[in-house]
Structure 1
Amino acid sequence: MELKGKTRLRVRYAETDQMGIVYHSNYLIWFEVGRTELFREIGLPYTRFEEQGLGLAVIEASCRYRKPARYDDELEIVTEIEKITTRSVAFSYQILRAGSLLAQGKTVHLFINKQGHHADIRDTGLWSELQLFANRKINGVSAQ
């Protein structure tokens, strides 16, 4: 099993602006779709984090726009876990149309508890599962 996933979606009319181009903030929403699906694919949907009393707060987000996406384009979101630590996880993203790079980005998330304070996930059952994936060094990911 990889720590890299691919998700397909089609641009909806509501995601475009008056010029017919996808509005910039939608790329961050698509990043969320990609990471949610990636976690689901490796057997760790967000609900598992919530059951352990954890959340994932975005502490950094960036997106580099290269080419515009337009209404009805079929897109592929490639999401990869770049780094997992006991306190955070970093993702990278690529948005592609027919193999052509439209945008790339990164997000960093802090594990937080129900009170909104940073959390160390070594105290949860999730850490052993994440560490198992990371220790396999799939796609160069390592646990720290």
Structure 2
Amino acid sequence: MQSLSNNDIFIYEHRVSYAETDKMQFLHHSNYARIYENARWEYFRSLNISYSKIEELGIMMPVINMDFHFIKPAFYDDNLQIEVSIENLTNVKISFKYATIKNGETINTATVTLAFMHSNSGKPTRTPEFIKNALQNQ
């Protein structure tokens, strides 16, 4: 389940599965990247932006930076709310800001930056106008 609140924060819900935990019974740190990716694309879907449409335009969006801050652990069966927002949008890249909330408390924060690039050449390209428009009109 997901929803928009305050017109700039998207909320994505995730329940921690047993397979996502490690021997310490924590949500393994590597899973945050996958969870944040799911949250990011659900946020985009809520704005009628699909990755398949981006790919049809010959554009890819590789991750170029990830910065995670682990505050407290999550455990099996915890219900997490992931807050997603745009931190920065330039002509060639976009940065997302995340906060993972468990029982009203922030347990993880992150910033993930993606670049816009031509799928054929691998060179940077401008942010598609329909993405700029969707983000400005939210």
Q: TM-score, normalised by structure 1?
A: 0.84
- As a proportion of its length, which structure holds more helix? 1
2:27 to 22, 31, 35: 22
1-side partners of 2:133 and 2:45: how far apart?
16
Q: Does 1:9 align with 2:9?
A: no
2-side partners of 1:52 and 1:3: how far apart?
26
For residues 47-72 of structure 1, the C-alpha deviation after alignment (integer angstroms, 9 at most, x for no partner) is 11111111111111010000100000
Q: Does 1:75 align with 2:76?
A: no
Q: TM-score, normalised by structure 2?
A: 0.88
Q: Judge conservation of contact 2:92–2:126 (CA < 8 Å) in 1.
A: yes
CA 1:75/1:135 → structure 2, altered by over 3 Å: closer, same or farther? closer
Give the CA RMSD over aligned residues.
1.6
AA at the equivalent of 2:131: L
AA at the equivalent of 2:81: E
Query: What does 1:108-119 align with in structure 2 at a 5 Å threshold?
Result: 108-115=113-120, 116-119=122-125
**Residue 133 (structure 2) aligns with:** 132
2-side partners of 1:19 and 1:25: how far apart?
14
AA at the equivalent of 1:119: T
For residues 76-127 of structure 1, the C-alpha deviation after alignment (integer angstroms, 9 at most, x for no partner) is 1111011212211110001111211110000111101112221123xxxx41
- Give the share of equivalent positions with the same residue, in percent: 30
Give ranges in structure 2 of 5+ residues lacking alignment: none
AA at the equivalent of 1:45: S
Shift in Å, 1:28:
1.2
1:35 to 31, 40, 51: 40
Q: Does 1:61 align with 2:62?
A: no
